[in-house]
Chains A and B, each alone.
Chain A
Amino acid sequence: MPTKTNADSEEARFVFKGTVQKLKAATMSEISADQRTAIVRVDEVIHAPEVLSQYAGQNITVIMGGKKKLRKGQQSVFYSNGVLFGDSVAVEAVDYHEIEKMPAAMAAAGADPVKNLAHRDLQRRYDSADVVLSGRVVAVRMPSDVVAAFASSTAADASPIGPISEHNPDWRISEIQVEQVHKGSHKSKTAEIRFPSSTDVMWHEAPKFHTGQEGFFILHKSSRVEKAARSAPTDAGEYVAFDPADYQPFDEADGIRNLVGS
């Protein structure tokens, strides 16, 4: 019978059905084989980041985190995170259970484990959002602090008004013409979203908005996001977007449309 997963299991990034091949053993010499380790064949990958998505059929090392005991030949669903990657892979299992007890949502997951994981991440982002809107970007502008920095730097005796760092987020504010509110409360026909335009390593994954862009916007209030509020105490924009999942285009085949029910 399907069950709910616990909190640790929900954090696991590599979820797979597997069969225990050998107890107190490991596929990597760097792992000390003991009662916590087992060689497990990956039978089916359910959730996975890209680099682990093709591991079906391969033996890997599973390090057990809890007190539960495995037995040889046991088939289970393992909730794990990768810890060591060499000629083989070792994962730490935060939980496992019989295949029959797999949660219904997971049992119904699609065939692509990378998409499944992305969908789970999107679901979480959606759940934590203050507001989810659909609409169109009608303008992108600089916040007042960035404008001031520009004005300062064009003066003959330029001096920075704040830290110049290669990791500056270089915030912008996009103005959204709201078409529909799918979650939360937003009464205005427009919404302002602060986002980092920087392509620096610290910010490159954030969505970069441009005029004319249409889609779903999964938004958190700026006042709740410390790094946004700290970077720009004034003119912060009502919302902030810096997670790659915070923007979903209209032509996304499923995922967000399933969540908003349209």
Chain B
Amino acid sequence: MPARKKAKQAAAKKTTRRPAKKTTKKAAKTRATTAAGGIGQAPAGFLLVNMIPQSLSGETNQDSEPHLTVNPANPKMIIGTAFSPNPGGGALGPVYKSLDEGATWTVNAIVPSQAGSLIGTGDITTSFNRTGTKLYGGILRAGTGALTFLRTNVPAFPPMTILNPPGRPSADQPFTHATTVASGAGAGQDRVYIGDNDFAAPGGKTQTIDESLNAAVGPPTPFSSVRVEKRTTVGQDGPQCRPVAHPNGTVYGAFYGWRALTGSFPANTLVITSADVVVVRDDNWGAGGFVNLKEPPPPAGDGLAGVRVVRGISFPFMRNGNAATGQQRIGGTISIAVNPNNSKDVFLAWGASATGSFLTIHVRRSTNAGATWSNDLLVIPKATNAALAINSAGVVGILYQQVVGTGVAQRWVTHLQRSGNGGVTWTDLVLATVPATTPVKTFDPYIGDYDHLVAVGAKFYGIFSANNTPNLANFPNGVVYRRNANFATHTLLNVNNVSPVAPSIDPFFFKV
């Protein structure tokens, strides 16, 4: 066989893609009429990519808990993160970087870490500012676990600068959102909001938004800890705190207020028996302490800042995932998104237990800036990792991962549902349906305690982690691999394109 032909065949083996079907008016009409509960076909422009580059074809890490940010000023530039070690083992942890809108990815070591760390970093989330000149991040640093705020320059991406040296102990799950003031007071200033669960907060009211209203300066960079929990807790709140800002300076936050619990975390029997899902709001970039959204006085409410969208819900807070939960530990899920065209239009998703469901995702909408909320617009059983976003056309999207089946037939199915009519009807796009029993987890969390979805303009961009077996049946709307893989034999291959590599958990990027 001529060498050229041989090389062409080898290339076909390692990168297999089923192209997205072209959208026709007829097809679009069909989808619209079958949207409620129907499985959508991938529209034109849909792309799903395994983010591991070719040079790391031999890696078998559990690259879970992914997050994503898209440069609003240049959507071709995207940064992804996950529990990935530095492949080279140096003193910096990696980010995944794309400069071609997600078609190809490099792994770039720029995150302060610890040499030789097998995890690269603890929890990590990043966000570009609105002008796309800076990348911000919040991490739990490998080695120390310290809550650490980061910044680097774009597009050079030198190693990230620590904005709060040496970091802060006893906090959890930093969730980063950054933007830039477009006009008026503070124009040009970067505003950074990092939601976290700060165990050092007084009185057990641990829900915190660490904010900087001028984050491009320093270090020292001015950060302040805003305690957004105003009610009595069981001693602490849950780990999730999700901030999101509208360009007009309205900033929302959503979290679980823990009110009662039973069982034992070390024994993996802990259940949060009563929690509130709370939404807070600040109308001046967070400068007012997130007290602009208050409940009415008794008896209708308690008059405190932060509206309790639901009260008294229950869910497990697991130390370890198990067979029933697809190896993933369960501990709640929360996401909030604001319509870029209307700061009063907000969608909220959260998880709570239900009969026969370890966690059921609920989606509701507020059209009056969080004061009152709709009934459930979506109810999704046995699911977690809800991530909401709203695009420039007002279409809301929700990414989530759902356990289906039991035993060896059990699968993690990753969905993107979208609604263009305020959540009345939804179109479902299945991104991946992969075995939930393989590979066996090497640590908790198996697929991550969150994934992420963002909207820039009319497009949705997302990231999730899943079993990476190269099998097109697992990716019903197509997938692209850059790492070496043989889709005919469902085998991953090492950098020599010959030696087989065991399946593992990889991050996947998509856009639509």
Pairwise interchain contact A55-B495, C-beta atoms closer than 8 A? yes
Take A13-B90, A81-B88, A81-B89 as given contacts and tell me if A153 and B264 are in contact as well, using a CB distance cutoff of 8 Å: yes
**Contact between chains at B172 and A165 (CB < 8 Å):** yes
Tell whether B119 is near chain A: CB-to-CB under 8 Å.
Answer: yes
Nearest B-chain residue to A55, judged by Cβ? B495
Residues in chain B near residue A230, CB distance under 8 A: 169
Nearest residue, chain A, Cβ from B104: A86
Residues facing A in B105-163 (CB within 8 A) are 105-109, 115-116, 118-119, 122, 140, 142, 144-145
Tell which of A80, A154, A165, A198 touches B264, judged by Cβ atoms closer than 8 Å.
A154
- Supposing A86-B107, A205-B119 touch, asked if A91 and B263 sit within 8 A by C-beta, the answer is no
Which residues of chain A are within 8 angstroms of B172 by Cβ–Cβ distance?
163, 165-167
Proximity bits, A65-95, B CB within 8 Å = 1, else 0: 0000000000000001111111111010000
CB distance B83 to A201 under 8 Å?
yes
Decide yes or no whether B87 CB sits under 8 A from chain A. Answer: yes
Q: Does B378 contact A (CB under 8 A)?
A: no
B190 at the interface (CB under 8 A from A): no
* Residue in contact with B53 in the complex, picked from A49, A55, A85, CB distance below 8 Å: A85
For window 143-185 of A, CB contacts with B under 8 Å fall at 146, 149-150, 153-154, 158-161, 163-168, 170
Residues of chain B within 8 A (CB-CB) of A200 are: 319, 443-444
- Counting CB contacts under 8 A, is A14 at the interface? yes
CB-defined interface of B378-404 with A at 8 Å, one 1/0 digit per residue?
000000000000000000000000000
For A200, the closest partner residue in chain B by CB is: B444
Interface positions of A from 224 to 262, Cβ below 8 Å from B: 227, 230, 244
Closest A residue to B108 by CB, please name it.
A84
Q: A82-B86, A86-B106, A200-B444 are in contact. Are A166 and B54 (CB under 8 A)?
A: no
**Provided the pairs A153-B264, A200-B444, A227-B145 are in contact, do residues A164 and B58 lie with their beta carbons within 8 angstroms?**
no
Q: Are B239 and A49 in contact (CB under 8 A)?
A: no
Chain B proximity mask over A13-38: 1 for CB below 8 Å, otherwise 0: 11000000000000010100000000
Determine whether B442 belongs to the interface, using a CB cutoff of 8 Å to chain A. Answer: yes
Chain A residues positioned under 8 Å from B234 (CB to CB):
159-160
Contact B261 A159 (CB under 8 A): yes
Cross-chain contact of A167 among B88, B122, B267 (Cβ < 8 A):
B122
Alpha-carbon separation in the docked complex, A91 to B145 (Å): 27
Contact across chains for B53 and A87 when beta carbons are under 8 A apart = yes
Number of chain B residues whose Cβ lies closer than 8 Å to a Cβ of chain A: 66
A51 at the interface (CB under 8 A from B): yes
Q: Report the bound CA distance from A53 to B407 in whole Å.
A: 37
Residue of A nearest to B495 (CB): A54
**Chain B interface helix/strand/loop/mixed:** loop
Tell me whether A199 is interfacial, beta carbon within 8 Å: yes
- Specify which chain B residues have a CB less than 8 angstroms from the CB of A115 in the assembled complex: none
Looking at B83, B122, B235, which has the most chain A CB atoms within 10 Å of its CB? B235
A111: interface (CB < 8 Å): no
A168 to B329, CA, bound (A): 14
Chain A CB within 8 A of B445 CB:
yes
Q: Taking CB as reference atom, which chain B residue is nearest A13?
A: B89
The smallest beta-carbon distance between B266 and chain A, in angstroms, is 5
B328-345 CB mask vs A (1 if < 8 Å, else 0) is: 010100000000000000
- Tell me if B107 and A146 are in contact (CB < 8 A): no
**Any A CB within 8 A of the CB of B366:** no
| In-complex Cβ contact of A149 among B104, B236, B266 (8 A) | B266
Q: Is the beta-carbon distance between A50 and B58 smaller than 8 angstroms?
A: yes
Nearest CB in chain B: distance from A208 CB, A: 12
On whether the beta carbons of A202 and B122 are closer than 8 Å, the reply is yes
| B236 and A199 form a contact (CB under 8 A) | no
Are B140 and A51 in contact, with the CB atoms below 8 A?
no
With a CB–CB cut-off of 8 A, which chain B residues contact A191?
A: none
Neighbouring B residues of A83 by C-beta, 8 Å: 88, 90, 92, 108-109
List, in ascending order, chain A residues with CB within 8 A of B262's CB: 153, 158
Q: How many Å from the CB of A42 to the closest CB on chain B?
A: 12
Is A204 a contact of B319 with CB atoms below 8 Å? no
Judge whether B211 is part of the interface by a CB distance below 8 angstroms. no
- Asked whether, in the complex, the Cβ of A168 is within 8 Å of the Cβ of B265, the reply is yes
Instruction: Report the interface size for chain A: residues with CB under 8 A from the other chain.
Output: 53
Residue of B with least CB distance to A245: B116
Asked if B193 lies at the interface with its beta carbon under 8 angstroms from chain A, I say no
Q: Which of B16-58 contact A (CB under 8 A)?
A: 53-56, 58
Q: Which residues of B contact A14 (CB under 8 A)?
A: 88-89
> Judging by beta carbons under 8 Å apart, are A158 and B261 in contact?
yes
Query: Is B229 engaged at the interface, CB distance under 8 Å to the other chain?
Result: no
A161 to B265, CA, bound (A): 12
User: Does B506 lie at the interface of the complex (its beta carbon under 8 Å from any beta carbon of A)?
Assistant: no
Beta-carbon contact of B444 and A52 below 8 Å: no
Is A100 at the interface (CB under 8 A from chain B)? Answer: no
Q: Assess whether A164 is in contact with B105, with CB atoms less than 8 Å apart.
A: no
If A86-B105, A87-B54, A165-B199 touch, whether A170 touches B88 (CB-CB below 8 Å) is no
Contact between B320 and A199, CB atoms less than 8 A apart: yes
Interface residues in B224-245 by Cβ distance below 8 A to A read 234-236, 239
Q: Which residues of B contact A28 (CB under 8 A)?
A: 106
List of B residues within 8 angstroms of A227 by Cβ: 144-145
Min CB distance A135 to B, Å, is: 26
In the complex the two chains form, is B264's CB within 8 Å of A85's CB? no
Does B449 lie at the interface of the complex (its beta carbon under 8 Å from any beta carbon of A)?
Answer: yes
Closest to B59 in A: A51
Does chain A have a CB within 8 A of B99? yes
Residues of A within 8 A of B421 (CB): none
Contact A150 B106 (CB under 8 A): no
- Say yes or no: is A98 at the interface (Cβ < 8 Å to chain B): no
Q: Which residues of B contact A121 (CB under 8 A)?
A: 116
Instruction: Tell me how far the C-beta of A56 lies from the nearest C-beta in chain B, rounded to whole angstroms.
Output: 10
Kindly list chain A residues whose C-beta atoms are within 8 Å of the C-beta of B235. 159-161
Which of B144, B169, B265 has the most chain A CB atoms inside 10 A of its CB? B265
A11 within 8 A of B: yes
Complex CA distance for A142 and B264, rounded to whole angstroms: 14
**In the docked arrangement, what's the CA distance between A230 and B55, Å?**
40
Complex formed: what's the CA distance from A13 to B172 in Å?
30
A164 smallest CB distance to B (angstroms): 5
Q: Which residues of B have CB within 8 Å of A198?
A: 319
A51 contacts across to B, CB distance below 8 A:
56, 58-59, 87
Q: Is B284 an interface residue (CB 8 A)?
A: no
Q: Report B74-116 CB contacts with A as 1/0, cut-off 8 Å.
A: 0000000001001111111010000100001111110000011
> Could you jot down 7 A-B contacts, CB within 8 Å?
A14-B88, A49-B89, A82-B86, A83-B88, A85-B106, A199-B441, A201-B122
The 4 closest A-B pairs by CB, nearest first: A82-B88, A81-B90, A204-B443, A13-B89
* Chain A interface residues (CB < 8 Å from chain B): 11, 13-14, 28, 30, 49-55, 58, 80-89, 91, 117, 121, 142, 146, 149-150, 153-154, 158-161, 163-168, 170, 198-202, 204-205, 227, 230, 244
Contacts A14-B88, A159-B235, A202-B145 supplied; 13 other A-B pairs, CB < 8 Å: A11-B91, A13-B115, A81-B89, A83-B92, A84-B106, A85-B53, A85-B55, A85-B108, A158-B263, A166-B449, A170-B266, A199-B443, A205-B118
